[in-house]
Amino acid sequence: MRITLVQGDITEQDVDAVVNAANSSLLGGGGVDGAIHRRGGPTILADCRRLRATRFPKGLPTGQAVATTAGELPALWVIHTVGPVYSPSEDRSELLASCHRESLRVADELGARTVAFPAVSTGAYGWPVKDAARIAVRAVRKTDTRVAEVRFVLFDERAFTAYGEALRAAGPTD
């Protein structure tokens, strides 16, 4: 698997699946979630509502992932995952790793070969970006998957730098 980095907007990525940093309601929010629903149009929310009504009446648990169609986005699917809210007093890194692992498991189920991830939990959920980058890169590298490219799409330069450093620290993948 190749891990690549892009500074930019995840809604513009021409990949099989984009990962959404959703909240457990699956009914929309700010940040990446807002951007995906805005650009993807109403079919994504309609799918999310159906998932709430059928599989996740109490919401999608933290650390899990589920797919919907991608509406008008260039991607074919959106994989919604719920990152943990950062806590300075409790180690929630396993849940953040789980988001990445579970998203790739769902990608494998879909047959997606290229998957774009945002910096899950580093916005509204407050995770320090260097630490999140380390956890995300490590989790992706450790996952056994048929996904050929994982592309981290970082909105700002700080996140782009942090993910670049985490990737270099982890060593080569190919």
Amino acid identity of residue 60, one-letter, is L
Which is closer to ligand ADP, CB of 30 or CB of 111? Answer: 30
Rounded CA separation 75/112 (Å): 10
Minimum distance from CB of 79 to ligand ADP (Å)? 14
Minimum distance from CB of 161 to ligand ADP (Å)? 12
Q: Which of 98, 33, 110 is nearest to 61 (CA)?
A: 98
Tell me, yes or no, if 33 is annotated catalytic: yes
Take residue 65 and report the two structure tokens written for it: 């992932």
Q: Which of helix, strand or coil describes residue 120?
A: coil
Angle at Cα 11 formed by Cα 3 and Cα 123, nearest 5°? Answer: 75
Give me the catalytic one of 14, 33, 47, 144. 33
Question: What order do you get walking across the sheet with 65-69 strand by strand?
Answer: 2-7, 149-154, 114-117, 17-22, 77-82, 65-69
Take residue 111 and report the two structure tokens written for it: 């047959």
Minimum distance from CB of 6 to ligand ADP (Å)? 9
Rounded CA separation 10/19 (Å): 9
User: For residue 63, how many other CB atoms are within 10 A of its CB?
Assistant: 19
Give the binding site for ligand ADP (CB under 6 A).
9-11, 21, 30-33, 35, 83, 118-125, 153, 155-156, 159
**Active-site residues: which are they?**
33
